[in-house]
Amino acid sequence: MVNTVNSPTRLSGARKRRISIFDNFTALSLAQIVASVARFAYLIAIARFLEPGALGVFTYGMAFSLALMGIAGLGQRTTLSTRIGKRPKSADRTVSYSLTATLATLSAVASCAIVLQWAFGDRGEVSVAVTFFLLTVVARGIAIWVRSCGMALEDTKWILRYEAIFRLAEVAIGIAALTAGAGLISICAIHLVVWTTEAVAGLCLLKRRSGLTLALGSDFRLLKAVIVHSLPFAVTLWLTVLTTQVGVVALKFLQPDTATVGHFAIAMQVTSVLLIGPLALGQALLPGLARAYRSNSAADLSLFLTLIKLVIVGGTVIALLTATGGPILLTFLLGSDYAAAGEAFSVAIWTLAPLSAVILMVEGLNAFGQRHNATLLVGTVVVLHVALMALLIELWPPLAAATVSFVAASLVGAVLGSVLVARCFKSSQILWLSVPALLSALAAAAMQLDPLPGMWAGPLISAVLSIVVLMSGAVPLSHLRTLLRRATVA
């Protein structure tokens, strides 16, 4: 039986380290930036040393494992944030049973996936490589669970240090191995070893910093209750992960060319790097959003709506700045064999604004107790993406079908999300979103007309968009000042 004695003293250390939304967001976003930049640098190295088909297998294995980890992790990031926020004195019990449930589901899902992979999947080197990724599901899942505990305790500054150490270690070891002549299997094995090491180190760190008891729970009734309570969060978070991973997995099943899978995965990887901001912002805001909604704090809820406007405009600005130069840079870094990845990125980048908005809306709906609507929203994006891809792949080249379906699904999701969030605020109006969304759409349309030679169009249109948004009051300056003030005050 776990130690369930309430211990305010041990929790006070973590509570004393409570940090502001801005600090939380900065720690999480910088950690994810470090990880994503390191992974992209690693992809460049793999592309330079191995053939496109091998890179396709590596990216497929990565996407497959992330997709499984999303459901196997049982949505503990949201569960821990909400339960510890409501009952801080029961944190020991919450954390212990959360760890037990997470470890059990990760192990079960990984085991079943390995059996199915060897029974029905590709044979030979592909199955061996994918098996290493499936084994990583357990290790990586536990490492992510440790971070979720840090977020729930609002103690996140250490995450950046760990991301830098372990992601850079994998890149350094992997590149050294590739230079020495290692192949696909070796770098997959390195991936497993690094994540296993991080999981063990993370558990030790969590115990030391929080003073929580990290024992496994033995009361089956409590364990069942944790799993049942977590399932709604698990489905929603799993679908959120799938938004950027399901396309890679589906493309592998819909057509056999692993090089095409690799090209699409690279485009998605770069787009995912640019999604770090809204992802980290949603994670940092979740505890505060739940408190604001329960207390009906108009100022905090207004902050949430302002953030959605900002990510729509900001995502469009980033897309405008990178749509032309991004493909050129990708081809330069990866080589001429990956020109198709640059072309795919030039289309996929237009998902940045709508998908960023969807991610924040999902976090908000979860915080507002609207879990079913959150699941409906992100599920619509995932299902529509796969359905459109399956339809378009019969008419268009696979890469074009994958990217266009991704853009279309994201746009539909943004519209649906605005309606669902407006209903939460007991309003039939969605005008709070329509003006910045319309201005962003006009800017994106202007970019497609290619009004200026070279790469001048993106910077000019993005500057005009930013000025018009501020001058028109689409994002009021008073709201921005409130956002900055509340973000930087603990």
Whole-number mean pLDDT of the chain?
80
Which of the pair, 126 or 451, is modelled with greater confidence? 126
User: Please, which pLDDT band fits residue 1 given cuts at 50, 70 and 90?
Assistant: very low
pLDDT at 490 over 90: no
Selection from 486, 321, 465, 341 nearest residue 399 by Cα: 341
pLDDT in tens, 99-114: 888 888 899 989 999 9
pLDDT in tens, 41-89: 898 899 889 988 899 999 999 988 888 887 766 666 666 766 665 566 6
Residues 297-320 have a mean pLDDT of 78
User: Please, which pLDDT band fits residue 334 given cuts at 50, 70 and 90?
Assistant: confident
Query: Could you give the percent of the chain with pLDDT greater than 90?
Result: 29
Query: Could you give the percent of the chain with pLDDT greater than 70?
Result: 79
User: Please, which pLDDT band fits residue 295 given cuts at 50, 70 and 90?
Assistant: low
Q: How far apart are the first and last CA of the chain?
A: 36
pLDDT of res. 280: 61
pLDDT of res. 379: 93
pLDDT of res. 72: 64
Which of the pair, 217 or 298, is modelled with greater confidence? 217
User: Please, which pLDDT band fits residue 464 given cuts at 50, 70 and 90?
Assistant: very high
Helix 21-49 to helix 52-72 angle (10° resolution) is 150
pLDDT at 281 over 70: no
Selection from 311, 400, 298, 290 nearest residue 358 by Cα: 311
Give me the residue label for tokens 């497959």.
Answer: 64
pLDDT at 32 over 90: no
Give me the residue label for tokens 């107790």.
Answer: 369
Residues 333-356 have a mean pLDDT of 91
pLDDT of res. 177: 96
pLDDT of res. 12: 42
Q: How far apart are CA 442 and CA 286, in angstroms?
A: 32
Q: How far is CA 471 from CA 207, 475, 482, in A?
A: 50, 9, 18
pLDDT of res. 173: 96
Residues 448-463 have a mean pLDDT of 81
pLDDT at 93 over 90: no
pLDDT in tens, 121-155: 777 888 999 999 999 999 999 998 888 887 777 67
pLDDT at 242 over 70: yes
Q: How far apart are CA 88 and CA 31, in angstroms?
A: 26
User: Please, which pLDDT band fits residue 11 given cuts at 50, 70 and 90?
Assistant: very low
pLDDT at 365 over 80: yes
pLDDT at 3 over 80: no
pLDDT in tens, 176-225: 999 999 999 999 999 999 999 999 998 888 888 777 777 777 777 777 77
Out of 17-21, 145-149, 165-169, 482-486, the most confident range is 165-169
**3-class SS letters over the chain:** CCCCCCCHHHHHHHHHCCCCHHHHHHHHHHHHHHHHHHHHHHHHHHHHHCCHHHHHHHHHHHHHHHHHHHHHCCCHHHHHHHHHHHCHHHHHHHHHHHHHHHHHHHHHHHHHHHHHHHHHCCCCHHHHHHHHHHHHHHHHHHHHHHHHHHHHCCCCHHHHHHHHHHHHHHHHHHHHHHHCCCCHHHHHHHHHHHHHHHHHHHHHHHHHHHCCCCCCCCCHHHHHHHHHHHHHHHHHHHHHHHHHHHHHHHHHHHCCCHHHHHHHHHHHHHHHHHCHHHHHHHHHHHHHHHHHHHCCCHHHHHHHHHHHHHHHHHHHHHHHHHCCHHHHHHHHHHCHHHHHHHHHHHHHHHHHHHHHHHHHHHHHHHHCCCHHHHHHHHHHHHHHHHHHHHHHCCCCCHHHHHHHHHHHHHHHHHHHHHHHHHHHCCCCCCHHHHHHHHHHHHHHHHHHCCCCCCCCHHHHHHHHHHHHHHHHCCCCHHHHHHHHHHHCCC
For residues 156 and 27, the answer to whether their CB atoms sit within 8 Å is: yes
Selection from 403, 386, 69 nearest residue 265 by Cα: 403
User: Please, which pLDDT band fits residue 298 given cuts at 50, 70 and 90?
Assistant: low
Rg (CA), the chain: 22
For residues 322 and 377, the answer to whether their CB atoms sit within 8 Å is: no
For residues 414 and 354, the answer to whether their CB atoms sit within 8 Å is: yes
pLDDT of res. 138: 93
pLDDT of res. 83: 65
